[in-house]
Chains A and B, each alone.
Chain A
Amino acid sequence: MTVTSTPAESPKVRPAARKSRSSGAQRRAVAMFIGPFALLFVAFYAVPIVYAIIQSLLTVEREGTFGAPQQVFGGLVQYQQVFQNTAFWQSVGRVLLFGAVQVPVMLGLALLFALLLDSPLLKGKKFFRLAFFAPYAVPGVIAAIMWGFLYSPSLSPFGAVTSNVDFLGAELVLWAIANIVTWVYVGYNMLIIYASLLAIPHEIYEAARLDGASNIQIAWRIKIPLVVPAIILTAVFSIIGTLQLLAEPQTLRSFSSAISSTYTPNLAVYTTASIPNYNLAAAFSVVLALATFILSFVFLKATQRKVSQ
């Protein structure tokens, strides 16, 4: 089926082990394979992003006090509002603090568990693997409901603790949320790290053992450096997840009065959109997406440089 002409062949500088007799068919196949995803990606990723940016550049004007509201181009008016909105920046600061503490704790635990699972020290590995991973099957909303009950002074099975320590009060509720997120995701991150530990060839350990290395030395000098890519992957996803926090705080609001309607950036987006002030909410979304993108990108670049050094 070599109907189409050949010029498109020229960019194939190195046809990797494939001397194609029917590049036309192949090109059609590529279009068929990529087409559906490309279409959906444009419709539900690219267009919304562009649309959010457009909306964030508009502002609502009324002719007189009772005139019909009209959307007009407002330039960076919304962004000015974003930067003046202290509640929003407080929420950003809150999730950054949250991430700075929760992500290292969670990944540290995940790494510890993965190393223990990979060590010869444990029995019943299969059980531990499943038990630790089980919370991942619990959606954030459900996890927040469960822990909400467990934290509550009157309903908790640990009433002796929760009636003395106010986990849902203004001071601790952020860390109460951190505990929920950690509880859900440690096992998932553990499995990703564990899977990459399993991929390390055992000969490496044997060589180290012949040199008299102990388990801890092997873990520290060999295993951890080799699973750094997996840790970076989990860290990036954790950073993205942290900035997106919504389900857990929103659900906990019915247990705790300490969580305001702008507690996290996404809650601020939701609250602003329900006013409704779509243009400002869109500007929040754009800033948040950009911040997330930059933060994870910078993190990726920084760690890559470190690794390659």
Chain B
Amino acid sequence: MAAPATAPKRPRGGSTTAQSAENRGRGPRQSIMSRSAAMLVMGVFTLYFLTPIWWLLTTSTKTGGEITSTAPLWFTANSFATFFENLGRLFTYGDGLFGRWLLNSALYAGVGALIGTVIAAMCGYALAKYEFRGREAIFNVVLSGVLVPATALALPLFLIFSRVELTNTMWAVFLPSLVSPFGVYLARIYAAASVPNELLEAARLDGSGEVRTFFSLSTRLMAPALVTIFLFQFVAIWNNFFLPLIMLRDQVLFPVTLGLYAWNSQISQIPELRSLVIVGALVSIVPLIIAFLALQRFWSSGLGAGSVK
């Protein structure tokens, strides 16, 4: 399976180190053909990935009537004003329901992921850095937890919460979201890789307590990993659909995804909801995109470690 496009340009073996170093950069050694082919593939798929988001952006700046009557992937003359009008309608409709949904999502996902990350980090750290009876057993249980589909838990959780009359409360969504076996799995790998035993030993000799060592020293070493765990748990909770769907009846408690789902399924009765759903969808993905961009430095370095085992 040799590359016909690049083959003629390649030295016949026995090339010098200087040449191969040159090959490594995007040097002139790569043929124009294969470079343009690669750029073409990536360009086409950039369109595939970004066009729907672009459509969401342009459509958010239109009135309900303009959605079908104007150029679909471009703005109108008064896009700017219409966009803010739509935003205003979005946040005032139904007594500011949408704002409440955003707040709920921020609470479920933000606070939930924060606490969940600390809990997972502690557990993973203990599994990586201490030897104790039952360690492997605990880790195996956690691993099987990773393989249990979260949606299979939604129904029994509902039945249990209804026994203690906690369905249709924020707790019903918040509490189960704190548990992340995958977070523990990642934390264990990261802790094993980034916290040297010698350092812990030194801290012990200095008389630092185990718990203090963890919070003041080890968490710092694990920081990129913790950001990764936090982000992925945040996304998992933010995107979670089945649990709130099955637990919540009161619209005021909905996370934003469930709220938009509810509006979307009412469009046929209330057509004015259509443009609200579109603007709302745009607004609801902005926080995640900002979070990913802002924390990119951390997660792009932490992401790979999960698969190294």
Per-residue contact bits, chain A 188-201, to B (CB 8 Å; 1 contact, 0 not): 00011011101100
Bound-state Cα–Cα, A206 to B24, Å: 8
Stretch of B7-15, B76-84, B87-95 contacting A (4+ beta carbons < 8 Å): B7-15
Bound-state Cα–Cα, A135 to B160, Å: 35
Q: Decide: A285 and B156 in contact? CB cutoff 8 A.
A: yes
Given contacts A32-B211, A270-B245, contact A138 B308 (CB under 8 A): no
Q: Decide: B147 and A132 in contact? CB cutoff 8 A.
A: no
Bound-state Cα–Cα, A62 to B18, Å: 85
Q: Decide: B148 and A141 in contact? CB cutoff 8 A.
A: no
Bound-state Cα–Cα, A28 to B42, Å: 53
State whether the Cβ of B65 lies closer than 8 Å to any Cβ in chain A.
Answer: no
Main secondary structure of the interface of B (DSSP, over half): helix
Q: Decide: A134 and B67 in contact? CB cutoff 8 A.
A: no
State whether the Cβ of A215 lies closer than 8 Å to any Cβ in chain B.
Answer: yes
State whether the Cβ of A12 lies closer than 8 Å to any Cβ in chain B.
Answer: yes
Residue positions of B touching A, CB distance < 8 A:
1-3, 6-7, 10-15, 17, 20-21, 23-27, 30, 34-35, 38-39, 41-42, 45-46, 48-50, 52-53, 55-56, 59, 67-68, 72-73, 119-120, 122-123, 125-127, 130-133, 138, 141-142, 144-145, 147-153, 155-160, 175-176, 178-179, 181, 184, 197-198, 200-201, 204, 209-211, 214, 235, 238-239, 241-242, 245-246, 257-258, 260-261, 264-265, 267-268, 277-278, 281, 284-285, 288-289, 292-293, 296, 300, 303-309
How many residues on A have C-beta within 8 angstroms of the other chain's C-beta atoms? Answer: 121
Specify which of B122, B241, B303 is in contact with A141 (CB 8 Å cutoff).
B241
A–B complex contacts, Cβ < 8 Å, 15 sampled? A29-B210, A34-B138, A38-B123, A43-B175, A44-B153, A55-B159, A120-B26, A123-B26, A146-B56, A191-B303, A217-B2, A240-B149, A247-B241, A250-B241, A285-B155
Q: Decide: B52 and A150 in contact? CB cutoff 8 A.
A: yes
State whether the Cβ of A229 lies closer than 8 Å to any Cβ in chain B.
Answer: yes
State whether the Cβ of A16 lies closer than 8 Å to any Cβ in chain B.
Answer: yes
In the assembled complex, the CB of A30 is this many whole angstroms from the nearest CB of chain B, namely 5
Bound-state Cα–Cα, A215 to B68, Å: 47
Bound-state Cα–Cα, A289 to B153, Å: 9
Per-residue contact bits, chain A 137-177, to B (CB 8 Å; 1 contact, 0 not): 11111110111111000111101000000000000000000
Given contacts A16-B197, A212-B15, contact A293 B285 (CB under 8 A): no
In the assembled complex, the CB of A7 is this many whole angstroms from the nearest CB of chain B, namely 11
